[in-house]
Structure 1
Amino acid sequence: MKRHSLSPDEREEKLIEATRRLVAGEISEGDLLRLLRRDVLGLTQNDYARLVGISRRTLSDMEGDKGNVTLEVMNRAFRPLGLKVCLMPRQPALLEKVMEKEPDNTKE
């Protein structure tokens, strides 16, 4: 297994940037999985599939945005990256509203 020697801060920075790209619609879930598997963890498809307990073919299909996997399998694949599958609005304007910082209600 070839792993990258990124610091925890560097891994977090790459994770945040890649997740921002996903939310912005620049990359797909499969692109995100592949990017983080390779660039953050430095693992091959075989090694990563073994780590998460799915077949390499299933992982390949997920990274290629092909196939039809269950929510359980998707969460299993994203768990080592510190991510879980969730619902997001498809409409950019609604997504933007969801992502806005909530007003601070602690002011007196």
Structure 2
Amino acid sequence: MKPQARSPQARQAALLEQLRLLRRGETTEGRVLRTLRREVLGLTQTAYAELVGVSRRTLSDIERDAGNASMASLDRVFRPLGLKVGLMPRQPELLAELFDES
């Protein structure tokens, strides 16, 4: 099912909502990727894998939070969404402090 065309503002709002869920620990990186690929971009795994230059199997593993994807592969799959892979604290307290959410 192809999503309806979204305005740039709606795409940005969907991206920010997924990142907020991720920051709160309510979703995973793989689920964020899958949601944005399907609901914002409207692409199949095969089409998106071809777009970013990884195998469909690699993309599937990343979306299921399985396997051991390289940093290069992770950067490739998140780049079209305007995201990059980086280091974040695992402890909620440190993460909150980082974002001044005490």
On whether the aligned pair clears a TM of 0.5, the verdict is: yes
Kept in 1, the 8 Å contact 2:3–2:39? The answer is: no
Matched, 1:70 2:82: no
Query: Which residue matches 2:82?
Result: 82
Partners of 1:30 and 1:4 lie apart in 2 by 23
Question: Bigger radius of gyration, 1 or 2?
Answer: 1
Percent identical pairs in the alignment equals 56
TM-score normalized by the length of structure 1: 0.89
In structure 2, list runs of 5 or more residues that go unmatched.
Answer: none
Kept in 2, the 8 Å contact 1:75–1:85? The answer is: yes
Query: Which residue matches 1:106?
Result: none
Kept in 2, the 8 Å contact 1:4–1:41? The answer is: no
Kept in 2, the 8 Å contact 1:6–1:40? The answer is: yes
Aligned pairs for 1:1-108 (under 5 A) are 2=2, 4-100=4-100
Please list the CA deviations of residues 6-59 of structure 1 after superposition, one character each: whole Å capped at 9, or x if unmatched.
Answer: 000000000000011011100000000000000110100000000000000000
Please list the CA deviations of residues 42-86 of structure 1 after superposition, one character each: whole Å capped at 9, or x if unmatched.
Answer: 100000000000000000000000011111110000000000011
Partners of 1:23 and 1:71 lie apart in 2 by 20
Deviation, structure 1 residue 3: 6.2
Amino acid at match of 1:8: P
In structure 1, list runs of 5 or more residues that go unmatched.
Answer: 102-108
TM-score normalized by the length of structure 2: 0.94
Name the Cα RMSD after superposition: 1.2
Partners of 2:65 and 2:73 lie apart in 1 by 14
How many aligned residue pairs are there? 100
